[in-house]
Structure formats: C-alpha cells, structure tokens
C-alpha cells in the first residue's frame, strides 16, 4: 500500500459514498437557490405593493409580476447556474479526500481478513482522516508484534520447559530405559510355549 501518488486517477473512488454526498450537495444548492430566488421575489412583491399603495399605480396580476421579476433578475439565475459546476467539482474533490482513504482502509482490512500482509498506509498530503491512518498503522504494528510473539511462543516455551526439567527428567529417563531393558531381558529369557 506504500506511498500514494499525488493525484487519484478516477473521479469516483467509491460511488456509494461520493454519490450520496454529491446528490446531497446538489440538493442543498437547489434548495438554497430556490429559497433565495423566491425570497427576492417576495421582497420585490412587497416593494411593488408599497409602490401601488403610495402612487396608486397600475396593478399587475401575480403571474405578470413574477414574469417581470424573472426578466429583471435573470442574470442572478444565470450566475447561480454558472456556479453550480464549480460547486459540484469542488464537492467531488472533497469527497475524494474522504472516500479515497476509506477505500484504502477497506482494502487493507480485506487483506487482513484473508491473512495477507499489509504495509502501513500512507495517505495523500491533502486527504482527510489522517488521524485514522495513524491509529490504523499503530494497530498494524500491534498485530505484527502480537503475531510474532504468538508464533515464537510454543517453540520458546517448549525449549524453556525442557531446559528447566532436564535435571529432573534425565535420571527418570535413564531409569525408564533400564526398566525397559530389564523387561526386554526377562521377556527374552522366559520360556516360550511352543
């Protein structure tokens, strides 16, 4: 997993995470734009009502007033639509900084569950979740040390036990061997019933 390249080569690293975040950002942009548009229209409607009350001017239908407002403020709608791709692209880049590290953590965990070795993770300079990288790498180090200690435990324990018991077991082993030899001798000297 080593050192990552400075840029990701895919727009979508994880469609589920990035897709849901981008849909939500697009929804927020749409709600914000519609609320702003209609708040401005309401302001325009109030000003128009004041003008009619003061000047006794001509009245317009609600639809005519809305069409007039749209004509006067079309540039605002164009600006809102023009900024949306920038907003969306920046949101996509932000989701890369989250989804990319999550994807790498997931891949590393998959390898661990299959018993494969995993090198410590190194996230990109501008990625988020760096604190999780440090925690994950500490956990990998713990697993490696734990695995080494468990792998060496039976051999070292067996050797330690044999060394500690050697003064006691050597005389016992010699006595068992002498008893076995005597039994073998007695068995060979015994008459056979043939």
3-state secondary structure of 127: coil
The predicted-structure confidence for 44-63, as pLDDT tens digits, reads as follows 988 887 777 667 766 778 89
39 contact partners, CB below 8 Å, separation of at least 6: none
Q: Quick one: angle between helices 74-113 and 15-55, nearest 10? A: 160
178, two tokens: 């002498």
Other Cβ atoms less than 10 A from the Cβ of 61: the count is 8
Can you tell me which residue has the tokens 């989701």? 95
- Cα 1 vs. chain centroid, distance in angstroms? 14
3-state secondary structure of 124: coil
Please compute the mean of the pLDDT values over residues 98-114 and round it to a whole number. 91
Q: What is the pLDDT of residue 101?
A: 92
The secondary structure of residue 191, as a DSSP letter, is P
When the pLDDT of each residue in the chain is averaged and rounded to a whole number, the result is 83
Please compute the mean of the pLDDT values over residues 14-23 and round it to a whole number. 91
How far, in Å, are 61, 138, 152, 187 from residue 146 at the CA level? 79, 12, 10, 53
Higher pLDDT, 161 or 14: 14
């Amino acid at each position: 997993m080593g050192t990552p390249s400075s840029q990701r080569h895919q727009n979508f690293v994880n469609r589920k995470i990035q897709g849901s975040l981008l849909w939500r950002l697009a929804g927020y942009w749409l709600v914000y734009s519609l609320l702003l548009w209609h708040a401005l229209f309401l302001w325009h409607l109030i000003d128009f009502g004041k003008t009619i009350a003061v000047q006794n001017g001509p009245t317009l239908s609600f639809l005519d007033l809305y069409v007039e407002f749209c004509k006067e403020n079309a540039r605002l709608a164009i600006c809102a639509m023009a900024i949306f791709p920038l907003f969306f692209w920046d949101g996509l880049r932000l989701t890369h900084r989250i989804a990319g590290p999550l994807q790498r953590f997931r891949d590393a965990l998959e390898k661990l569950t299959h018993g494969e070795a995993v090198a410590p993770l190194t996230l990109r300079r501008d990625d988020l979740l760096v604190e999780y990288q440090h925690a994950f790498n500490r956990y990998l180090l713990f697993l490696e040390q734990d695995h080494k200690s468990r792998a060496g435990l039976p051999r070292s324990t067996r050797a330690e036990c044999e060394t500690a018991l050697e003064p006691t077991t050597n005389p016992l082993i010699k006595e068992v061997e002498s008893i076995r030899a005597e039994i073998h001798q007695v068995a060979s000297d015994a008459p056979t019933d043939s």
